[in-house]
Structure 1
Amino acid sequence: MTVCVAVKVHDCIVFAADSASSLVETGHGGQALIANVYAHGNKVFNLRKGLPVAAMTCGMGNIGSVSIGTLAKDLRLKFCSDDPEWRIDPANYTIESIAQKARKFFFEEHYQSLPNQPAGDHEFQFWIGGNGSGAMHGEIWRVRIVNGAAPDPERLADTGDFDILYDGQPEAINRIVNGYSQFLPQALLDIGLSPDHLDAVLTHIESRTRAPLISPAMPVQDAIALADFLVDTTKKYVRFLPGADTVGGDTDICVVTKHEGFKWVRRKHYFDRRLNPVEDDNGTGT
């Protein structure tokens, strides 16, 4: 499990995610059980070096025996290659086209080629955010694999949209941002509210309870601080709930801007940088 947060304002897109990675096993009766939680998963990626494009993942941590982190780096190599089917031309690309290529890579090339696809309910999400070539403002798209099917990539935020977006384990953020629990809709239905009236009731509630935490004119540093706050609060919230700490570990944060491109704000390393002086912050030789 995880929490991933995107903050989109005029000047930037911020992606932030925790590092917890849950190992799930099947118990008696086919029930999914959390066997272990690792604290060092990688969920935020520099998807195409030199361009203002970032990626973030939640849901399934691997496809087959390969982690999403490794697959994301394999996809990055394709984007930098000379293969016309995969190469991203820095002078002529859209975020939508990158999302379409990502869907083909994860779903058609890897998921569908598995000899044994996952059983039971499962979902994989891969968020892509950034500025298309020459675009003033960014976009955010999402690729999903849900129970063996992969719909077309979905645009979560257009160039003129400015918002806080999140997924994974959203309960804490939903309470902070929208002012109510994600379980409220079902509670209202349980006490007899007509399904036909549910959306209208929730819209009315949110109009009175939503917290105005974001402004389109918010500076980059404040957008970063907001994303960090929402991930950190979720980690602390989950810590005190019964059960495993399925959100936790370090928070990785990146920011994408039109002129500065992709920048790491905070990123964990599995190596000691004092012992690897030729490594830059992307984990590659300078």
Structure 2
Amino acid sequence: MTVLVSVKINDGIVMATDSASSFASGMIYHNSRKIVNLREGLPIAAMVTGAGGIGNESIDTLLKDLRQRFTGQDPAHKDWIIDPDDYSLENIAAKLRRFLFEEKSLTHGATTWTKFRLCGYSAGRSLAEVWEVNLMGENCPSPSCIQHEQEFGLRWDGEYEALDRLVFGLGTRFNESAVRHGLSTEDAATLREKLVPDLYELLFIEAMPMQDAIDLARYLVDTTIGFVKYSVSRPKTVGGPIEIASISKHEGFQWVQRRGAGAGN
């Protein structure tokens, strides 16, 4: 399952993940890399939650293969090179979908369930965007922008429970429990909609400094890791070292915290 967190503020985006990856065999490893700068020298990166690979290739390797296309190191795909002065996150998200779903997942039977979050700046833009590409077995909808330039705040995915409780004040099974105790499905959904604004815990402001956004992202991932670790009933699908990267207008993509610093990128 894993957990990923992004914190979008005025100054950019912080990306943070654990290092656990689950495979169809049932194995869970805790040394995966799930954040990749998709074009060296440009403020563009992707992170992932879900299956650890497609076919015999890990997600980390696949994203680095895509990076080779974007940087012109793949002679067979020169048309994929990103022009630093003329590109958009929307176009990169479309290519991410084409590569991972049409070229890879479909070839291997389209059984992969994985979510990719693309973060960064389009060419010449002053504010960042966040896009998602979702592999859902035989389906992969068109990429969606989950945070436009003027939208800010926290987004998390993968293992929801800990952060849903922390931020929304309600767990993911609230509706199910409310129905079990006599509410209709519709009334349970309505009650949740009314309660969340009352219970919501605001943990950021748009103008917070980048270092504070980094500390917040680290805290949110670490909280989820601890929650899953000590939960008696939950599968241990979150864990391992925390990796963090930041993307800003002037500094671009920067590693903040990573496992085995100096090994690969």
TM tier relative to shorter chain: over 0.9
RMSD: 1.7
Structure 2 unaligned blocks of 5 or more: none
Matched residue type, 1:96: E
Task: Compute the displacement of 1:199 (Å).
Answer: 4.2
TM-score, length of structure 1 as denominator length:
0.87
Task: Compute the displacement of 1:198 (Å).
Answer: 4.2
Identity within the alignment, %: 39
In structure 2, the residue corresponding to 1:110 is in which secondary structure? helix
In structure 1, the residue corresponding to 2:107 is in which secondary structure? coil
Instruction: Count residues in correspondence.
Output: 261
Matched residue type, 2:222: D
Q: Deviations over 1:135-185 (max 9, x none)?
A: 111000000111211000011100000010011011101111111101102
1:29 aligns to what?
none
TM-score, length of structure 2 as denominator length:
0.93
2:98 aligns to what?
104
- Does the 8 Å CA contact 2:22/2:50 hold for their aligned counterparts? no
Q: Does 1:124 align with 2:105?
A: no
Q: 1:1-286 to 2 correspondence within 5 Å?
A: 1-25=1-25, 34=26, 36-81=27-72, 83=77, 85-114=79-108, 116-118=109-111, 123-242=113-232, 244-269=235-260, 281=262, 283=264
1:278 aligns to what?
none
In structure 2, the residue corresponding to 1:136 is in which secondary structure? coil
- Does the 8 Å CA contact 1:75/1:105 hold for their aligned counterparts? yes
1: CA distance between counterparts of 2:179 and 2:85?
Answer: 51
In 2 relative to 1, CA 201–244 (structure 1 residues): closer, same or farther, beyond 3 Å? closer
- Does the 8 Å CA contact 2:110/2:137 hold for their aligned counterparts? no
- Does the 8 Å CA contact 1:125/1:145 hold for their aligned counterparts? yes
In structure 1, the residue corresponding to 2:154 is in which secondary structure? strand
1: CA distance between counterparts of 2:199 and 2:91?
Answer: 37
- Does the 8 Å CA contact 1:37/1:244 hold for their aligned counterparts? no
Task: Compute the displacement of 1:189 (Å).
Answer: 2.7
Matched residue type, 1:247: V
2: CA distance between counterparts of 1:204 and 1:241?
Answer: 28
In structure 2, the residue corresponding to 1:85 is in which secondary structure? helix
- Does the 8 Å CA contact 2:23/2:52 hold for their aligned counterparts? no
Q: For structure 1, which segment, 234-243 or 192-201, has the greater mean C-alpha deviation from structure 2 after superposition?
A: 192-201
Structure 1 unaligned blocks of 5 or more: 26-33, 274-280
Task: Compute the displacement of 1:191 (Å).
Answer: 2.9
In 2 relative to 1, CA 268–208 (structure 1 residues): closer, same or farther, beyond 3 Å? same
Q: Which has the higher helix share?
A: 2
